[in-house]
Amino acid sequence: MAIPAPPISSLSFPKLNTDTPKTHTTHSPYPLSLLPKCTSLKELKQIQAHAIKSHLQNGFILIKLINFCTLNPTASFMDHARHLFDQIPHPDILLFNHMARGYARTSTPIQAVALFSQIRCFSLVPDDYTFPSLLKACAASEALEEGKQLHCLAIKQSQSDNIYVYPTLISMYTGCSDMDSARRVFDRILEPCVVTYNSIITGYARCSQPNEALSLFRELQASDLKPTDVTMLSIISSCALLGALDLGKWIHDYVRQNGFDQYVKVNTALIDMYAKCGSLDDAVSVFECMAFRDTPAWSAMIMAYAIHGHGHKAISMFEEMRRARVQPDEITILGYLYACSHAGLVEEGCRCFYSMRNIYGIIPRMKHYGCMVDMLGRAGRLVDAYHFIEELPIKPTAILWRTLLSACSSHGNLELGNRVMERIFELDDSHGGDYVIFSNMCARVGRWEDVNYIRKLMKTKGVTKVPGCSSVEVNNVVHEFFSGDGTHIEYRKLHQAVDDLFEKLKLGGYVPDTFLVSHADMKDVEKEATLRYHSEKLAIAFGLLNTPPGTTIRVVKNIRICGDCHCAAKLISAIFKRQIILRDVQRFHHFRDGNCSCGDYW
């Protein structure tokens, strides 16, 4: 296409800030030749102005400009792309795909779906690229309804079985946490490829369904397909969720044998997995064997020390990272704050928090604020924590107040607890745990009227508490127990074992903390029975019964360990000469010789 252009000197076209040699610019008659050098929207608009002034703006140029904007999809580039797009009377599907690709990389990917529904009147037929981009946009925005509508459309247009479409259909459902629908799509596929397996396995791992992820991994291994590094990342994180160390070690062997240990991400996942399975030594040895360590790898190691209560080691690891000239990110700082919080290093934590913006240029997020509240609260600086939340530059969440409520409960400050409870209720009154904590606080000081009032309130609001669930790994099988559980096949034997255990513990000086059971009308014997069958006690007893003497018992609990179970676990570790490693929702507790690594500070 030969487009005559006036000599460049006759145009009032501002010179672009590029390094292009002058001769090249001078002899370039065509405005788009400058496009690859364009670095800002302002420059793009100058190019467009040049085209308009030269009477060169046509559909072809608009498409080129749109394409350029969607390759650099900042919000302002995408706004401009949309402005240009709206000037095209009959956009084709290719042009729409460009727009969708651009939106998919912005913070508002759902705009791709909105645009698609607007332009459907142009009788566009989606191609191999259209559905994947739109479904990815739905996944990223957790837009399940729109995703389902696209699924319907894909079926109507016989595209749902397209090799490019079904993995993204699965990803859309997993992204929206609808694992049942994702599985239905997966089960319809006759010969799933490894990408499809990865989509569903990643989904299960992301939605905290590690057993399903692992069973699909076994299915994948039995097929002719080869797992990829993506598969391994999900499998390792599933293992971390289960806290199953033996399984984790087996997977580590598999990683080594199949050469996946060359991937930094896989090694980082292994550090995280070992830390969460309670084996800090293994986490350290993976870290030390890594030839190259990036920011996530260092952060994983710092977090590993943090959750095991080694505050000083986490801090020295951070300093080593700085000496290695690796830049910390927000997750590194989170690990550092977490370490300080769980080791009572308040001054170090505060210093880090106040320098994160100034020195490292990292803007604090809600999780960082949460760590600060947790740290101040644990250290008993409840009023400081209260003022810290009140003075935040952003609106605090219920979770933040909830953190302070736990601290008020640990330090027995009912008055402040009451004020915090009011703040929580202003934001969210549907969380059963809050009622339970506050009710226990009232019970401790004998305020039974308040306890009864809270219980009634829970009933009228239909709030239930999350049942305590603990799991223990025995012979590569993970066994789950719920508080007061009668579902496990060996429960009768188990209840008997727990009863025997209690007799031995009592001889060892154990006194059940019946204050933790806030029922005024319950006799002490009944309260003791409620405490006795807490899920973590059942899991520990099951471990004691089914593992050889002297071996470590590893337990994972879904919520925070209660004071009574903590006390019992310490005694069990001394009486039975067993190390017990318990991971609760907050951190690790290593019980050994009657003590816990948390120093009763959790």
Question: By C-beta, is 402 or 534 nearer to Zn ion?
Answer: 534
Question: By C-beta, is 431 or 534 nearer to Zn ion?
Answer: 534
Question: By C-beta, is 169 or 569 nearer to Zn ion?
Answer: 569
Question: By C-beta, is 200 or 497 nearer to Zn ion?
Answer: 497
Dihedral sign computed on CA atoms, order 144, 150, 154, 155: positive
Near Zn ion by CB under 5 A: residue from 154, 176, 565, 580? 565
Q: Please, what is the minimum distance in Å from the beta carbon of residue 562 to Zn ion?
A: 3
Q: Please, what is the minimum distance in Å from the beta carbon of residue 418 to Zn ion?
A: 25
Question: By C-beta, is 101 or 378 nearer to Zn ion?
Answer: 378
How far is it, in rounded angstroms, from Cα 63 to Cα 257? Answer: 49
Q: Measured at the alpha carbon of residue 389, what is the angle toward residues 384 and 393, in degrees to the nearest 5?
A: 125
Q: Let me know how long the chain is.
A: 602
Say which residues have a Cβ less than 8 Å from residue 481's Cβ, sequence separation at least 6.
Answer: 469, 470, 471, 472, 488, 535, 538, 539, 542
Residues in region 158-217 near Zn ion by CB under 5 A: none
Which residue stretch of 285-293, 388-396, 519-527, 562-570 sits at the interface with Zn ion (rule: CB under 5 A)? 562-570
Residue 242 binds Zn ion, judged by CB under 5 A: no
Element (H, E) at 513: none
Which residue stretch of 35-43, 150-158, 530-538, 572-580 sits at the interface with Zn ion (rule: CB under 5 A)? 530-538
Residue 532 binds Zn ion, judged by CB under 5 A: no
Q: How far is CA 377 from CA 56, 294, 345, 381, in A?
A: 66, 33, 12, 5
- Of 255, 292, 29, 572, nearest in space to 555 by CA: 572
Which residue stretch of 1-9, 90-98, 210-218, 561-569 sits at the interface with Zn ion (rule: CB under 5 A)? 561-569
Question: By C-beta, is 421 or 539 nearer to Zn ion?
Answer: 539
**Is residue 485 classed as helix, strand or coil in its secondary structure?**
coil
Q: Please, what is the minimum distance in Å from the beta carbon of residue 574 to Zn ion?
A: 14
Residue 590 binds Zn ion, judged by CB under 5 A: no
Question: By C-beta, is 39 or 595 nearer to Zn ion?
Answer: 595
Residue 598 binds Zn ion, judged by CB under 5 A: yes
Q: Measured at the alpha carbon of residue 11, what is the angle toward residues 8 and 15, in degrees to the nearest 5?
A: 75
Residue 580 binds Zn ion, judged by CB under 5 A: no
**Is residue 482 classed as helix, strand or coil in its secondary structure?**
strand
Q: Please, what is the minimum distance in Å from the beta carbon of residue 583 to Zn ion?
A: 11
Residue 540 binds Zn ion, judged by CB under 5 A: no
Residues in region 311-370 near Zn ion by CB under 5 A: none
Which residue stretch of 147-155, 220-228, 318-326, 591-599 sits at the interface with Zn ion (rule: CB under 5 A)? 591-599
DSSP state of 28: -
Residue 555 binds Zn ion, judged by CB under 5 A: no
Which residue stretch of 2-10, 38-46, 184-192, 594-602 sits at the interface with Zn ion (rule: CB under 5 A)? 594-602
Name the β-bridge partners of 237: none
Q: Please, what is the minimum distance in Å from the beta carbon of residue 516 to Zn ion?
A: 7
Residue 596 binds Zn ion, judged by CB under 5 A: yes
Start-to-end C-alpha separation, the chain: 73
Question: By C-beta, is 195 or 567 nearer to Zn ion?
Answer: 567
Question: By C-beta, is 427 or 469 nearer to Zn ion?
Answer: 469
Print the SS3 string covering 358-382: HCCCCCCCHHHHHHHHHHHHHCCCH
What region does 259 belong to: left with phi over 0, alpha with psi -120 to 50, or beta?
left
Radius of gyration of the chain measured on its C-alpha atoms = 30
Question: By C-beta, is 541 or 562 nearer to Zn ion?
Answer: 562
The answer to whether residues 194 and 224 touch, using CB atoms and an 8 Å cutoff, is no
Question: By C-beta, is 298 or 481 nearer to Zn ion?
Answer: 481
Residue 421 binds Zn ion, judged by CB under 5 A: no
Which residue stretch of 180-188, 498-506, 519-527, 560-568 sits at the interface with Zn ion (rule: CB under 5 A)? 560-568
Look-up of token digits 């009227």: 449
Residue 562 binds Zn ion, judged by CB under 5 A: yes
- B/e letters for 154-189, b = 16+ CB within 10 Å, e = fewer, are beeeebbebeebbbbbbbbbbbbebbebbbebbeeb
For strands 477-482 and 469-474, give the pairing.
Answer: antiparallel
Question: By C-beta, is 199 or 341 nearer to Zn ion?
Answer: 341
Q: Please, what is the minimum distance in Å from the beta carbon of residue 598 to Zn ion?
A: 3
Near Zn ion by CB under 5 A: residue from 183, 310, 313, 589? 589
**Is residue 581 classed as helix, strand or coil in its secondary structure?**
strand
**Is residue 134 classed as helix, strand or coil in its secondary structure?**
helix
- Of 595, 590, 557, nearest in space to 309 by CA: 590
Which residue stretch of 224-232, 388-396, 424-432, 582-590 sits at the interface with Zn ion (rule: CB under 5 A)? 582-590
Q: Please, what is the minimum distance in Å from the beta carbon of residue 566 to Zn ion?
A: 5
Site string for Zn ion, 486-525 (x = CB under 5 A): ----------------------------------------
How far is it, in rounded angstroms, from Cα 253 to Cα 249? Answer: 6
Which residue stretch of 31-39, 56-64, 485-493, 558-566 sits at the interface with Zn ion (rule: CB under 5 A)? 558-566
Name the β-bridge partners of 470: 481, 557
Which residue stretch of 51-59, 146-154, 165-173, 531-539 sits at the interface with Zn ion (rule: CB under 5 A)? 531-539
Say which residues have a Cβ less than 8 Å from residue 525's Cβ, sequence separation at least 6.
Answer: none
Question: By C-beta, is 98 or 570 nearer to Zn ion?
Answer: 570
Number of residues that bind Zn ion (CB under 5 A): 6
How far is it, in rounded angstroms, from Cα 67 to Cα 102? Answer: 9
How far is it, in rounded angstroms, from Cα 236 to Cα 249? Answer: 10
Give the amino acid at 492: R
Give the amino acid at 186: F
Q: Please, what is the minimum distance in Å from the beta carbon of residue 601 to Zn ion?
A: 8
Question: By C-beta, is 353 or 502 nearer to Zn ion?
Answer: 502
For strands 580-583 and 588-592, give the pairing.
Answer: antiparallel
Which residue stretch of 3-11, 101-109, 357-365, 556-564 sits at the interface with Zn ion (rule: CB under 5 A)? 556-564
Near Zn ion by CB under 5 A: residue from 534, 557, 578, 583? 534
Look-up of token digits 């990036």: 294
Question: By C-beta, is 234 or 279 nearer to Zn ion?
Answer: 279
Structure tokens at 225: 């397909």
Q: Please, what is the minimum distance in Å from the beta carbon of residue 236 to Zn ion?
A: 26
| Chain contacts with Zn ion (rule: CB under 5 A) | 534, 562, 565, 589, 596, 598
